[in-house]
Amino acid sequence: MIEKYDQLIDLKISHHQIHVYCGSYDEDKTQWGDINVDQGAILHDSHLIFDPIVDGAFKAKVYINKLENFVVNEAARRGIRTNFVVLEKRDIFLSSVPESCIIEINLNPGLYVLYFEECEYDEIDELFFVLTFIETKNRLSPIYIIDDPWGGKIGKELFFGNTQ
């Protein structure tokens, strides 16, 4: 269990997507290409979609933090680091097909590094997700932050944008 977090959302997840976006929803930025499917993510500056791997619809806890440093969660099965741009005077949303929630932590407009972790409590076979925002001045290449059973290799760069 995560003991410290800035916000907790119980999210209804389906259609293989957890969507984090700032500003208006943009349908063009949600189209999965072959490379996006292989890497498990669609990455844009203010629109990110992560594949939670599990088939079907389910509900899961999403822990959201704004921190100064990042440490990989011991329960992580997949981890991705990417950039995220918070637009001025715009809400930030966490959504999946069934619902959309506002991220209510204090994120100033600007550039962040966002860490997405898919985690599992082995002893109870329950998935949860962690989103960690770290304010930054420098863009970083999107990469996997751990080796995972679906082909992610630590340090391997991910493709930015939609793919064909």
CA distance 138 to 34: 29
pLDDT, tens only, 4-40: 899 999 999 998 899 999 988 888 888 899 999 999 9
Residue 18 is assigned to a structural domain of this protein: yes
User: Does the predicted model carry a pTM greater than 0.85?
Assistant: yes
Does residue 109 lie in a domain region?
yes
In the prediction, which pLDDT does 66 show? 97
Domain count, the chain: 1
**Burial of residue 32 (number of CB atoms within 10 Å: 0-12, 13-18, 19+):** middle
Which tens digits make up the pLDDT trace of 78-91? 999 999 999 988 89
Give the three-class secondary structure for 35.
Answer: helix
Inside any domain, residue 1: no
Tokens of 52: 């939670």
What pLDDT score was predicted for residue 98? 81
Confidence of residue 95 (pLDDT cuts 50, 70, 90): very high
Residue 139 lies in a domain: yes
Task: Name the residue range of residue 70's domain.
Answer: 7-144
DSSP 8-state secondary structure symbol assigned to residue 40: T
